[in-house]
Amino acid sequence: MTDVQFATATAPEATAHQHQPQQPQVNRQQEVYRVASDLFRQGPDWVTFFREVLGVEGIIRRVYVTPQELEDFEASEEYAEIQQMVAKLREKSGSQTDDKEPTRVITVRLPKSLHESLRTEAHEKRTSMNKLCISKLLQVIDDQLIPHD
């Protein structure tokens, strides 16, 4: 199944969940996990998997529409397994990415000591700073750990 077919095939399922908020959380978790597993077995690159499952228009955000629902799902075992799928796909694809999605560059200002720490960690893990930072960005962060203006 192609990316387009996947998105089309899962959209009705997600829409059905959005209109049935009374559906038990466990059923929704299992359904999202099933959709992610099906895509994972197709062996997409990690960017495609991220976009279709974890992205802004991915299955997770279509099923879990409120911040609280999303936060609850991110604490689940199913979400942890999906994170493992992303990691395996990133490992498998190396620097290869989906040609259909352009890359963007962000500039982050950080203290020299934090930059040095990241550089050292990347060296110790035998990876690039870019890969390390992407890995860190893919992780769920407790909302209480994010400073608010």
Is the pLDDT at 6 greater than 50? The verdict is no
Q: Is the dihedral of CA 33, 34, 38, 41 positive or negative?
A: positive
Of the candidates 35, 20, 18, the one whose C-alpha atom is nearest the C-alpha of residue 70 is: 18
Helix axes 77-93, 25-41, angle to 10 degrees: 10
Per-residue confidence (pLDDT) for residue 92, from 0 to 100: 84
DSSP string for the chain: --HHHHHHHHHHHHHHHHT-TTS-HHHHHHHHHHHHHHHHHT---HHHHIIIIISTTSHHHHH--SHHHHHHHHTSHHHHHHHHHHHHHHHHHTT---TTS----------HHHHHHHHHHHHHTTS-HHHHHHHHHHS---GGGS---
Digit-coded pLDDT (tens) for 81-135: 999 999 999 988 765 555 678 888 999 999 999 999 999 999 999 999 999 999 9
Higher pLDDT, 140 or 77: 77
How large is the average pLDDT for residues 21-26? 67
Q: Could you identify the residue written with the tokens 């999605």?
A: 101
Give the rounded percent of residues in the chain with a pLDDT score beyond 90.
Answer: 64
Is the pLDDT at 22 greater than 90? The verdict is no
State the amino acid at position 20 in one-letter form. Answer: Q
Average pLDDT, the chain: 83
d(CA 121, CA 126): 8
